[in-house]
Chains A and B, each alone.
Chain A
Amino acid sequence: MSHTRYRTEEAGEPRPFPPEARDRIEKLLRRYPTKQAALLPVLWVAQETWGWISRESAEEVARLLDLPVSHVDGVLTFYTMYNLRPVGRNLLQFCTSISCHLAGAEKLVERCGKRLGIALEQTTSDGRFTMVEVECIAGCDRAPSVMINDVYHEPMDEKKLDALLDRLSKDA
């Protein structure tokens, strides 16, 4: 269960979905017998549109799906992958579950934190990196497994991590 809450100081103006996102949502709604069933996919559209889900985006989703905002809140705070605050352009996800743990995953987390000067769940001041720990991501045979945004990087080691961080630090 996620313990993340909305970061209220980031709250912005109510935001309608852009037209292409509206099209995707219309198509999604046709795949389910209830509007509510489309909630997780629509929240994914919201996150892909804005990079994170603000209180205002959640309200817009609730409006589109005829759901109480409290229901959307409950869902958003149950699942771990919806970003309830802005995250860096590179979301570094370190698996520390058993097989990656046995392969020394925590050493990578420590090294990464030192290099970036941030702790878990934090974002660098330039908005480039956010570092989080995740539970088993099914990369156990190539442990330790790391995901950056939606791409696996496995097996990871300190040298590869350094090279990756170097490269991503230079990206515009």
Chain B
Amino acid sequence: MLSSTGSRRTPEVERVLTARIGRKDSRSIDTYLADGGYAAWKKVLTGGGWTPQQLTEEVKKSGLRGRGGAGFPTGMKWGFIPKDTKGKPIYLLCNADESEPGTFKDRLLMEEDPHQVIEGILLSSYAIACRDAYLYIRGEFYEGARILNRAVEEAYAKGFLGEKILGSSYALDLTIHRGAGAYICGEETGLIESLEGKRGQPRIKPPFPAVSGVFNCPTIVNNVETLACVVHIVNRGADWFAKIGRNEKNTGPKLYCLSGHVNRPGVYEAAMGLPLKELIFGQEYGRGMKDGRGIKAVIPGGASANMLTAAEIEDCPLDFDGVAAKGSMLGSAAIIVINEDTCIVDAARNLSKFFSHESCGQCTPCREGTPWLYKVLDRIESGEGRAEDLDLLERICNQMANGMTICVFADAAIAPPLSSVRKFREEYRHHVEQKRCLVGAKTEMATA
């Protein structure tokens, strides 16, 4: 096996999306079928079956919200497709451009249980009357793309894809489309541009993709994990799904990506709303901090999310509204734990370097602001910071985001510097005044 996923564990309770992970030959269609796979597809398409509207209603009722980052209600998104498309085809795009630093759940789903993802795409395509679906997978996932291509071939051979699927009049084609290295293609209109064979620069909205997306046709873009959830909603019902989770606005099973200074990093499945501290310290999950160190900061939703302090992670349910109430976001559910020995300026500098590299360059505030933030953080980290730099960081951030740009990349890019300079101001000040890190062990400098 190319990518050994030995460290990706989930506890025995409530495994839905990861139920088959770790099973022998989990990628093959034979084991998937033996485990009850494609039952949802057969349920919807054969023996009376479901209408697309019924399927959409079921997903609406389940409370499923998008797992890619924004948490938008999936059924509602589907409902935005115009009733009359004036003869234009409708497209479903599976967003498998998983690139948010700290996120690795979709890689796991695609590499270990590709048919679950494909079945989710089939069901969702049917719900929106799509005849041509694409799965846009980031270029770096070579193995994921090979596994998916094999699985797609198997699905065609069994008659789950193609013409007259399972004897119905429904026809669907699915193409695995590889990206080529660009974080911004995870933004849905950036993904659409990229799929059209262009630079992945996000579009001005409106029009929203549901009205005019890829090839100027109505388009729905859904994340890998979101689509996988649809399989289980069909199999077990919206009511079952809606009962999982902290409240009716945050429902279903959820994959959490835990990384950083914990004893046991990995993808963990739990009900939406798992307490953040339980994920870090629970026996079933992260098993506490490596070497017994204290927590300095936690990034709860990938690089784009505001950092939380050790005090703020008390009583923080990991769901869309729970993390939002703490002034951050669940995002892609990438929880990055940073210990007390880490220089916060160094961490912010690393994150800013990422955003500086990945800005698509289309909007001036973002194109100019992201390298500027990196430059200021780099000089503070290198002991050349100026007293006015802390205010300067805040000023740059405030001039970049909140509607100054076409997409929310700039809003994401300001999260690490702005949240850290506000919450760890003393450490920043110490760095500027003493020209060195507050923490003893200085993290190794980047070579760039």
Contact = CB atoms under 8 A, between A and B. Distances in A.
Interface of A: 1-2, 31-34, 36-41, 43-44, 65, 67, 71, 74-75, 78-82, 96-99, 101-102, 104, 106-107, 109-110, 113, 119-120, 133-143, 147, 150-152
Contact of A110 (B259, B338, B447): B447
Nearest to A145: B104
B360 A99 contact: no
Contact of A141 (B199, B258, B354, B361): B258
A96 B446 contact: yes
B102 interface: yes
Given A120-B448, A141-B8, A98 B102 contact: yes
How extensive is the interface on chain B, given as a class?
Answer: 35 or more
B447 A140 contact: no
A67 B102 CA distance: 37
A30 B19 CA distance: 36
B383 to A, nearest CB: 18
Contacts of B334: 140
B260 A152 contact: no
B182 A79 contact: yes
A47 to B, nearest CB: 9
B351 A140 contact: no
A98 B336 contact: yes
Nearest to A108: B444
A81 B181 contact: yes
Interface in B183-199: 183, 194-199
B104 A140 contact: yes
B447 A106 contact: yes
B226 interface: no
B374 to A, nearest CB: 13
B20 to A, nearest CB: 19
B23 interface: no
Contacts of A134: 140, 181
B54 to A, nearest CB: 29
Q: Which of A1, A38, A81 has the most CB of B within 10 A?
A: A1
A4 B375 CA distance: 21
Interface stretch (B62-70, B171-179, B242-250, B321-329): B171-179
Contacts of A31: 173, 175
Nearest to A135: B354
A141 B104 contact: yes
Q: Which of B98, B100, B143, B446 has the most CB of A within 10 A?
A: B446
B252 interface: no
Given A36-B198, A37-B215, A82-B181, 5 more contacts: A78-B200, A81-B140, A140-B257, A140-B336, A152-B143
A78 B182 contact: yes
Nearest to A76: B180
B266 interface: yes
B142 interface: yes
Contacts of B360: 1, 78
Q: Which of B104, B258, B336 has the most CB of A within 10 A?
A: B104
A67 B199 CA distance: 14
Nearest to A3: B357
B196 A36 contact: yes
Contacts of B103: 136, 138, 140
Contact of B140 (A65, A142, A147): A147
B9 to A, nearest CB: 10
A154 to B, nearest CB: 8
A140 B258 CA distance: 8
Contacts of B104: 138-141
A153 B357 CA distance: 24
A81 B8 CA distance: 27
Contact of B444 (A32, A80, A104): A104
Contact of A79 (B179, B261, B447): B179
A40 B199 contact: no
B28 interface: no
A43 B233 CA distance: 39
Given A40-B194, A80-B181, A141-B257, A99 B101 contact: yes
